[in-house]
Structure 1
Amino acid sequence: MNTVPRPWLLTLAALSALATLSTNILLPSLPVIAQSLAVDEAQLTAGVLGLFLAVFALAQLIVGPLSDRMGRRPVVLGGLALFVAGSLVGAFAGTLPLLLASRVLQALGAAAASVLARAAARDRFEGTLLAALLGRIMVVMAAAPGFSPLLGGLVQAAWGWRALFAVLVLAGLALALAYGRIVGETLPTERRRHQPVGALARGYGKLLADARFLRPALATAAILGALFAFFGTAPLVLAGSFGFSALQVGLFFAATVFVVFAAGQTAPRWTARWGAPTVLRVGAALAVVGGLAMLISPAASLIGFAVSGCVFLFGMGLVSPTGTALALTPFASQAGQASALLGFLQMAAAAMLTTTAATLPGARVDALALVLAGGGLLALLSGTAKPAVTAVRAS
C-alpha cells in the first residue's frame, strides 16, 4: 500500500484506545461504585485501576508472540471476546471480587487489541507511512483519556454506573466487527513463527540487547509514562489549586486533544523532511521545556500551567509515533513480540511515573513538573543512538 486507508486507520486507532477508554470512563464514577458495593474508595481505586494496569502490562508479553504463531486475527478477535465478557460481568457485578474479575478479563482483551494494532500496522507499512499511521493512532489514544471521563460522567448521570460497562460491551462488539471486516489477517502463514517458552525469553532478551529497539523503545516508554502521570495528576492540580469542577476538568482534557492532534499531523511531515530520529529528539526537548516551564511558573498561574502542559503534550505527540516506528521498523519478522515488549515497557513506565508524581513530597504541581521534565529528559537521552538512525534509514 502507498497510502493508509481511512477505515484501516480508524479501526487500528480505536483498538489502541480501548484500554484507555475502559479505564478512564470509570474515573468519575468510582465514588458511586464504591458506595454501591459498600467498599472503601481507595481499595476500589487500587483494584480497578492498579490490577487492570498490571494485568494489561504482563498480558502484552504473551499476546504478541501468540499472534506471531497463530496470526493476528484470531488473537484480536479472541481478545475482544474476553473484553466483552469482562464488560458483561462488570455490568452485573454485585461484589468487589466479581468486579475485579471483570477488570482482569477486560485487561487481557484490551492488551490483545492494543499490541496487535501496532503489529498489524507494522505488518503492512514501514518508513514514513508507518510513522504517519502511528502518529494518527496516537491522536486517538490521546483523545481517549481526554474525552472518556466526560463521556463516563454523562453516562453515569443519565443511567447509572452499570451503564458504563454496557457502553464497553458495545465498543468491544463494534471493534470486533470492524476488525473482522476491514483489517482481517495481516500476517501471512509463511511469516508466522512458533517459539517455545525458552526461545520467547531469548527473543525478548535479544530485543532488549539491540540498541535499534531498546533506545527508541525507552524513549517512547518514558514519554508515555510522563503522559499517564499528567492525566493522573493534573486533575488534582486543577481541582485543588484552581477550583475546577469535574466538568471543567473534563473540558480541560478535551481541549488538550487538539494539541496532540496538531503534533500527530506534524510528526509525519517533519519525519519525511528531517528523519524520525531528529523529530524524536525535538519532541523530547519540547517535553523537557514544558516540564521546566511548569516548574518555574507561578503556582497560582492557570495560564502558565496550561501553556507549559500544552508544550509537553506537543512534544509527546512528536516522540510517541516516531519512537514507535523506530523501535518496530527493523523487526518485521517478530513484529508481534517487539510490539508486545514495547507495550510492556510503556505500561511499566506509566505505573512508575504515575506513582512518582503522586508520592513526591511538596506541591502536586511541582511533582508533576519534575516528572514531565524527567520523562522528557529520559526520552532525549534514549533517543540519541546512531544504531536506531541507521536502522530506519535503511528501511
Structure 2
Amino acid sequence: MHDSYSERMSGGETRAAAGLALVFAFRMLGMFMVLPVLATYGMELRGSTPALIGLAIGAYGLTQALLQIPFGMLSDRIGRRPVIYAGLLIFAAGSLLAANADSIWGVIAGRVLQGAGAISAAVMALLSDLTREQHRTKAMAMIGMSIGLSFAVAMVVGPLLTRAFGLSGLFMATAAMALLGILIVAGVVPRAAGPLQHRESKVASQALLPTLQHVDLLRLDFGILALHAILMASFIALPLALVEQGGLPKEEHWWVYLTALLIGFFGMLPFIIYGEKQRRMKRVLLGAVAVLLACELYFWQFGSSLRALVLGTVVFFTAFNLLEASLPSLVSKVAPAGGKGTAMGVYSTSQFLGAALGGILGGWLYQHYSLSGVFLGCAAMALLWLVFAVTMREPPYVTSLRLPLSVAALHEVGLAERLQAVPGVADAVVVREEAAIYIKVDTQQLDRMSLERLIEAPPATC
C-alpha cells in the first residue's frame, strides 16, 4: 500500500470532522429533544389537540425534506459556509419562535422554521472539501456516530431539561446550540480552498433521475420513510402510555429511554457483525422489521403495565437502532458507482418525509382511535415495509472508491469496461469533469494495488 493510504488524518482533517460532527449533533439534539416530551407537556399549550401535537412533532420534516437537496445545490454555487450559517440562524429563529409561543400553533410554526434550516447536505459537502479521499469514509462515520449519539442523548436530556425549565426552556436550549454551531464552524472548522467536485458527497442533478428509477434504492428509501414514520407516531403514543397505563409521571420518563437506548445499542451490535461478516444483511433487515412489527402489536395487546411497556421499549429500540445503522450502509452498497451522494440525498429526503408523515398520522390516529389506533397504525406500516423488503435482493458487499485519472487514462477509450472485467470490480464510471473514476469493488476479491496499476498503466497498443 502507498504511504498516503496508511497515514493518519491530519490535524486539519480531524478538526474538520470533529467540528462538523459537533454541529450536526447540536442540530439533531434540537430536533430530537422534543420527541419524548411534546406529547405529554404539549397538551398544556393553548389550542392543543392530539392531532396538532402530532403535527408539531412531524412539522420540521416537511420543510427539511423540501429544502435539503436545494440547499445542498445552492452551497455548490455560493459556498458551503454561507448556507450553513444561514441554516443555523434559521434553525435558531425557529427555536426562539417555539420558545416564546403560548399556543400549539406557535410551536408548529417554530418547528416548521427549524426544519427550514436544512444544512445536512451542505455540511457533508464541506466535510468532503476538507478531507482527503482515503479518510473521507472515516470522517463520514464520525458524523454518523454523532447523529446516533445525539438521538440517545436527546431521549434522556429532553425530559430532564423540560422538567427543570419547561418546554420554553427546552427550545431556548436548542437555539443556543444552533448559535454555538455557528461559532464552531467559524472558529474550529478549517477553511476549504474551494468546493470540491465530488459525486459521492453531494447530489448530482444528472444522477437524480436514474436514482429515482432504481428499484432497490427505492425499496430502501421506503424503508427509512417507514422507520421514521413509526418512530414519530410511537413517540406520540409511548409517553402517553407510560403516564396513562404505566402510572409513570412524565418527569420520570428519562430513565426508561436511557435503559432502552443503552441495551438497544449493545443489543444490535452482534446482528450487525453477523450480517456483514456472513453477508446476510437481508436476513438481518427482515428480522429487525419483523421485530418492529411484533413490538407494535405487543404494545397494543399487552402494554398495560409499566414493566410491559419498558420491556417493549427496550426491544423496540434494539430493532430501531439496528435498522437506523444498517439502512445507510445498504444504500452505499446498492447505489451505482458515482451515485452514492445522490442516493443519500434522496434517502435523507425520504427520512424527513417519514418523520412528517409519522407525526401527523400518529396524532390523528390518537385523537380518533386512542393509543390502540396508533400502535395498530404503526404495525400496519411495519407490515407494509416487510412486504416490500421481502422481495429485495441480497445487497452486493462492495466498497466505493474514487481514483484520480491521469490525462492519458482519462482519454483512454473503454477504460470503465476494461476495469469492470477485473475480478472484484462490480461497477465503474469515468467522470471526465472531475478527472476521476468511481469504482465499486468487493474488497475480499480485489487487489487494490493491481487496480491502481491498471489505471496508471498507459493504454495497450495493437
The residue identity in structure 2 corresponding to 1:223 is L
Residue in 2 aligned with 1:147? 156
Residue in 2 aligned with 1:19? 31
Higher mean alpha-carbon deviation, 262-271 vs 46-55, is at 262-271
Aligned positions of 1:223-372 closer than 5 A = 223-262=227-266, 269=273, 273-274=277-278, 278-279=280-281, 281-292=283-294, 295=297, 298-300=302-304, 302-328=306-332, 330=335, 337-354=342-359, 359=365, 363-364=372-373, 366-367=375-376, 370-371=379-380
The residue identity in structure 1 corresponding to 2:313 is G
Residue in 2 aligned with 1:214? 218
Residue in 2 aligned with 1:196? none
For the Cα contact (< 8 Å) 2:93–2:113, is it kept in 1?
Answer: yes
| Aligned CA distance change for structure 1 residues 328 and 374 (closer, same or farther; 3 Å) | same
Distance in 2 (alpha carbons) for counterparts of 1:226 and 1:55: 19
| Aligned CA distance change for structure 1 residues 90 and 139 (closer, same or farther; 3 Å) | closer
For the Cα contact (< 8 Å) 1:228–1:350, is it kept in 2?
Answer: yes
**Residues 1:79 and 2:91 are matched in the alignment:** no
Measured against aligned partners, the alpha-carbon deviations of 1:333-381 in whole angstroms (never above 9, x if no partner) come to 6666544322221122234345555528582575266257427625743
| Aligned CA distance change for structure 1 residues 187 and 295 (closer, same or farther; 3 Å) | farther
Distance in 1 (alpha carbons) for counterparts of 2:26 and 2:282: 24
Q: Which has the higher strand share?
A: 2
The DSSP-based 3-state class of the residue aligned with 1:191 is coil
| Aligned CA distance change for structure 1 residues 234 and 303 (closer, same or farther; 3 Å) | same
| Aligned CA distance change for structure 1 residues 386 and 62 (closer, same or farther; 3 Å) | same
Residue in 1 aligned with 2:43? 31
Measured against aligned partners, the alpha-carbon deviations of 1:189-233 in whole angstroms (never above 9, x if no partner) come to 24179xxxxx94x64332211246333333333323322232222
Unaligned runs of 5+ in 2: 1-6, 399-425, 428-439, 444-462
Higher mean alpha-carbon deviation, 141-150 vs 328-337, is at 328-337
Distance in 1 (alpha carbons) for counterparts of 2:8 and 2:215: 29
For the Cα contact (< 8 Å) 1:14–1:140, is it kept in 2?
Answer: no
Selected match of 1:164 from 159, 167, 170: 170
Which protein shows a greater Rg?
2
Offset, 1:75? 1.9
Q: Compute the TM-score of the two structures, normalised by the length of structure 1.
A: 0.75
Measured against aligned partners, the alpha-carbon deviations of 1:298-350 in whole angstroms (never above 9, x if no partner) come to 45454444334323322221222332133246478666654432222112223
**Residues 1:59 and 2:67 are matched in the alignment:** yes
Q: Which has the higher helix share?
A: 1
For the Cα contact (< 8 Å) 1:86–1:102, is it kept in 2?
Answer: yes
Offset, 1:268? 6.8
| Aligned CA distance change for structure 1 residues 338 and 122 (closer, same or farther; 3 Å) | farther
| Aligned CA distance change for structure 1 residues 182 and 374 (closer, same or farther; 3 Å) | farther
Selected match of 1:7 from 15, 18, 31: 18
Q: What RMSD in Å do the two structures reach over aligned CA positions?
A: 4.2
Offset, 1:12? 3.5
Unaligned runs of 5+ in 1: 194-198
Offset, 1:150? 0.7
| Aligned CA distance change for structure 1 residues 78 and 51 (closer, same or farther; 3 Å) | same
Offset, 1:80? 0.4
Offset, 1:241? 2.4
| Aligned CA distance change for structure 1 residues 284 and 137 (closer, same or farther; 3 Å) | farther
Higher mean alpha-carbon deviation, 168-177 vs 384-393, is at 384-393
For the Cα contact (< 8 Å) 1:223–1:316, is it kept in 2?
Answer: yes
Q: Compute the TM-score of the two structures, normalised by the length of structure 2.
A: 0.66
Distance in 2 (alpha carbons) for counterparts of 1:286 and 1:145: 23
Measured against aligned partners, the alpha-carbon deviations of 1:154-184 in whole angstroms (never above 9, x if no partner) come to 2435xxx433332122111112222344445
Aligned positions of 1:96-175 closer than 5 A = 100-109=108-117, 111-112=118-119, 114-117=120-123, 129=138, 132-133=141-142, 136-157=145-166, 161-175=167-181
| Aligned CA distance change for structure 1 residues 95 and 351 (closer, same or farther; 3 Å) | closer
| Aligned CA distance change for structure 1 residues 265 and 224 (closer, same or farther; 3 Å) | same
Offset, 1:140? 2.0
Percent of pairs with identical residues: 22
Distance in 1 (alpha carbons) for counterparts of 2:290 and 2:42: 33
The residue identity in structure 2 corresponding to 1:20 is F
Distance in 2 (alpha carbons) for counterparts of 1:294 and 1:93: 33
Offset, 1:135? 5.3
| Aligned CA distance change for structure 1 residues 311 and 299 (closer, same or farther; 3 Å) | closer
| Aligned CA distance change for structure 1 residues 16 and 50 (closer, same or farther; 3 Å) | closer
The residue identity in structure 1 corresponding to 2:329 is A
For the Cα contact (< 8 Å) 1:135–1:265, is it kept in 2?
Answer: no
Where relative contact order (Cα < 8 A, 6+ residues apart) is larger, the structure is: 1
Offset, 1:238? 2.2
Distance in 1 (alpha carbons) for counterparts of 2:63 and 2:195: 29
For the Cα contact (< 8 Å) 2:261–2:314, is it kept in 1?
Answer: no
Offset, 1:267? 7.2
The DSSP-based 3-state class of the residue aligned with 2:33 is helix
